[in-house]
Amino acid sequence: MTSSSSPLPATADVVIIGGGVMGCAIQYHLAQLGVPNTVVLERSVLAAGSTGRSQAICRMHYSNPVTTELAWQSLQVFSDFDARVGGQSGFVGTGYLVVVEDVDAAGLERNVAMQQELGVPASLISADDLARLAPSIRLYDDERAAWEPLSGYANPYLVTTSYAQRSREAGAQIALRTSASAIELDGERVQAVTTTNGDRIAAGTVIVAAGPWSKPLLAGVGVNVPLIPVRHQVATVARPVERVPEHPTVGDISQSFSFRPDGSAFTMMGFGDDPETPNPDDYPEGVDPSDATSALHRLGRRVPGLADSYYRGGWSGLFTTTPDWHPILDAIPGITGLYCAIGFSGHGFKLSPAIAKAIAELIVENRPRDIDLTPLRYARFAENDLLQSSYRYRVLA
């Protein structure tokens, strides 16, 4: 990989801004399509942003077909990563349980029916089914559940660096500790990216995949994307394995949090979307003790055997949200050669293989082969044609 001290090329076919899972996976797919003359610019190190802080839960429960399909295509890549990409994804199949209150039962039924129409293995389950599938989990009388047998979690660092390694082998370049400062236009066409080190790479195609930092980059060329960062916390507890040897990954919509196993002896919880809008360059990166205590209480209510687990530590990261909590995957209208893969709203990791493939195809072949990204177009905000969620806890569907 190119480091900040290595010279950057003067020209490239494509410059990708951001070395998270999206930027690296897009670069890989461009190389697969015969476009290896590309550069990823990463201001820090690979996966330094949301990717490295992700819980990396891979489930397919969504309220709309396009993200369900992206999640399903991606799951098939994560679970067969070495054969399909090369390298490790760290995927662990745990099964995925969605729990909602009765008030959300219609949404749950609708989502599962839609999944089944798309061929996704998913079903509504009863309390008796759950007792067989996951005896450690408690379902209350006013709750309903659905089950995905193939879902689980992966390792976001391994996935990102595996894509990067495969791209590098194909001849692509990755410049670490190299921050893009501006996108240069020639009239209404992209012509170059400049860096804070004073370098300039001429390129006719630029992809912005810079997480919450995408907003100022795009504002520099007059594009105002509706991105708002939201702080989200993750905490890990030691699991008393003699009582709870295993449990599935759970999207606990009833209690507005999620949890998954973390290896064989820990459980990882995600919780606490902070109402304050954080500064991506300066926000509290630790865990608020009161929020961790509240999450542990919810965990104990859902898995009574984990009620007195002890807290091992945690961190915070940023969701880059859009008004409908779904990404913007598009060519930017009015600027030839400018694309964005942004606004993943806390659930982009699980979609990354399919999104990256679709964006690479959009660039090289003018349209994705296996998915129609129209519902995720940039213009949907101006057209007031937003995606709808079945639930109030939007990150979970």
Ligand X SMILES: Cc1cc2nc3c(=O)[nH]c(=O)nc-3n(C[C@H](O)[C@H](O)[C@H](O)COP(=O)(O)OP(=O)(O)OC[C@H]3O[C@@H](n4cnc5c(N)ncnc54)[C@H](O)[C@@H]3O)c2cc1C
Q: Which of residues 23-42 bind ligand X (CB under 6 A)?
A: 23, 41-42
Q: Which residues pair with 99 in a beta bridge?
A: 145, 252
Asked if 248 interacts with ligand X (CB under 6 A), we say: no
Beta strands in the chain (DSSP E): 14-17, 38-41, 57-58, 92-93, 96-101, 123-125, 143-148, 152-153, 173-175, 180-186, 189-195, 200-202, 205-208, 228-238, 249-252, 257-262, 266-271, 310-321, 328-331, 338-342
- In angstroms, give the least distance from the CB of 154 to ligand X: 9
Asked if 359 interacts with ligand X (CB under 6 A), we say: no
Of the candidate residues 12, 14, 20, 305, the single one contacting ligand X (CB under 6 A) = 20
Closest CB to ligand X among residues 57, 134: 57
Side by side, the strands of the sheet bearing 57-58 are: 57-58, 152-153, 92-93
- In angstroms, give the least distance from the CB of 396 to ligand X: 10
Asked if 43 interacts with ligand X (CB under 6 A), we say: yes
Asked if 343 interacts with ligand X (CB under 6 A), we say: no
Of the candidate residues 12, 14, 22, 201, the single one contacting ligand X (CB under 6 A) = 22
Max CA distance (Å), the chain: 66
- In angstroms, give the least distance from the CB of 102 to ligand X: 26
Asked if 49 interacts with ligand X (CB under 6 A), we say: yes
Asked if 305 interacts with ligand X (CB under 6 A), we say: no
Phi, psi (degrees; rounded to nearest 5) at 199: -85, 160
Sequence-separated (6 or more) residues with CB below 8 Å from residue 282: none
Asked if 218 interacts with ligand X (CB under 6 A), we say: no
Contact segment (CB under 6 A) with ligand X among 1-9, 30-38, 49-57, 287-295 equals: 49-57
- In angstroms, give the least distance from the CB of 294 to ligand X: 16
Which helix or strand (DSSP H or E) is residue 75 part of?
helix 65-78
> How crowded is residue 1: how many other Cβ atoms within 10 Å of its Cβ?
18
Closest CB to ligand X among residues 200, 243: 200
Q: Which residue has the tokens 């009833």?
A: 254
- Distance, in Å, from the CA atom of 72 to the CA atom of 118, rounded to the nearest integer, reads 9
SS (H, E, C) 241-283: CCCCCCCCEEEECCCCEEEEEECCCEEEEEECCCCCCCECCEC
Q: Which residue has the tokens 């559940």?
A: 145
Asked if 77 interacts with ligand X (CB under 6 A), we say: no
C-alpha torsion sign, points 175, 178, 179, 185: negative
- In angstroms, give the least distance from the CB of 120 to ligand X: 16
Buried b or exposed e, range 207-217, using 16+ CB within 10 angstroms: bbbbbbbbbeb
Closest CB to ligand X among residues 240, 311: 311
Of the candidate residues 107, 348, 353, 368, the single one contacting ligand X (CB under 6 A) = 348
Token representation of residue 292: 């961790």
Contact segment (CB under 6 A) with ligand X among 75-83, 129-137, 345-353, 382-390 equals: 345-353
**Residue with the closest Cβ to ligand X?**
20
Contact segment (CB under 6 A) with ligand X among 18-26, 111-119, 130-138, 378-386 equals: 18-26
Of the candidate residues 350, 357, 380, 394, the single one contacting ligand X (CB under 6 A) = 350
Burial of 170 (0-12, 13-18, 19+ CB in 10 A): middle
Contact segment (CB under 6 A) with ligand X among 45-53, 111-119, 238-246, 365-373 equals: 45-53
- In angstroms, give the least distance from the CB of 269 to ligand X: 11
Of the candidate residues 319, 325, 339, 391, the single one contacting ligand X (CB under 6 A) = 319
Contact segment (CB under 6 A) with ligand X among 75-83, 103-111, 209-217, 364-372 equals: 209-217
- Plot region of 92 (φ>0 → left; ψ -120 to 50 → alpha; else → beta): beta
- The residue type at 256: S
Contact segment (CB under 6 A) with ligand X among 55-63, 199-207, 353-361, 381-389 equals: 55-63
What residues line the site for ligand X (CB under 6 A)? 17-23, 41-44, 48-51, 53-57, 179-180, 209-211, 213, 217, 232, 234, 270, 317-319, 344, 346-350
